Amino acid sequence: MKKFRDIFIWTLVVGYAILAFGFVAEKQKALVCNNVEVIIVDSLKNRFVEKENILRLLERRGIKLIGRSFNDIDLSKTEAIINEYPPVKKAEVYKTANGSIVIDLKQRNPILRIFDRNNETFYIDEDGYLMKTSGNFTSHVIIANGNIGVNFQVTSKTNVTKFKGKQKIFADLYFLSKYIANDKFWNAQIQQIYVNTSGDIELVPSVGSHVIVFGDYSDCETKFDNLMSLYKNGLPAKGWNTYETINLKYKGQVICTKRE
């Protein structure tokens, strides 16, 4: 009898669940989109994307949401269109029970702004992808300029991490700026990156009137460790404006040139 009773109870539970899910599904089909909510999760940090940008993008691509039945809205297609928008890193689109379409998105996060020798400018984001500037917002990140030549198209699908040869400088600038951004002290101390006519990277500090000749990205951590040692043990005694240049490019050496 107990076994029969258990089977009967589970049959009722499963039957109720099927009816409930069926009711919810029918209710979802009957719902009409009455609101579009765009949630930009990192809007306090960057403002490359605004709600109006997304709504205009969907309108241009023939996607109408307000007033349409939920059953007629292709969420996957809508999501794919938004994810193609260059300033967007990741978007998710879903329906709610109250008739809203919610668009959750995260913006791409630039860590470096490039000004090439022709004064053309673009960003490199935290994942190494190129990113065009926006008239809506300027991100306050470290700037790299000087002898930088661009012979490629700036698109959001271009990643500099694999660049070699003459274009390797962009990979070096990316990895270097990422290292600086992830270190609290160096992020505050290094205010600009410059590429000189020899192709060497130079760093311009916030404190001190010296120029730091860094060379390329190789041995990055060791170079910064050597520079920190000089900052802690050498410059306090001799004065922060004693040297005109601090050269870190040669392995295992720190060469300081005094100001004349």
H/E run at residue 146: strand 142-146
In eight-state DSSP terms, residue 160 is G
* Percent of the chain surpassing pLDDT 90: 71
User: Which whole number is the average pLDDT over 195-222?
Assistant: 95
Tens of pLDDT, residues 149-173: 998 899 999 999 999 998 999 999 9
What is the pLDDT, as a whole number, of residue 44? 75
Contact assessment for residue 173 and residue 185, using Cβ atoms and an 8 Å cutoff:
no
Task: Please tell me the predicted confidence (pLDDT) of residue 24.
Answer: 47
Residue 180, pLDDT > 50, answer yes
- CB within 8 Å of 164: residues ≥ 6 apart: 171
Taking residues 88-107, report their average pLDDT. 94
Task: Please report which residue ranges of 150-215 form alpha helices under DSSP H.
Answer: 168-181, 184-189
Average pLDDT estimate for 94-111: 94
Token pair 């190129």 is at which residue?
A: 130
CA dihedral 171, 45, 139, 213 (to 10 degrees): -50
33-91 residue pLDDT tens: 999 999 998 887 888 999 999 999 999 999 999 999 998 999 999 999 999 999 999 99
Give the pLDDT confidence score for residue 29 in this predicted structure. Answer: 58
Q: What mean pLDDT, rounded, does the chain reach?
A: 88
Print burial letters for 237-256: b (CB count within 10 Å at least 16), e (below 16).
Answer: eeeeeebeebbbbeeeeeee
State whether the Cα torsion 82-85-88-90 is positive or negative: positive
Give the whole-number percent of the chain exceeding pLDDT 70: 88
* pLDDT above 90: residue 209: no
**What DSSP string runs through 22-85?**
HHHHHHHHH-B--EEEEEETTTTT--S--HHHHHHHHHHTT---TTSBGGG--HHHHHHHHHTS
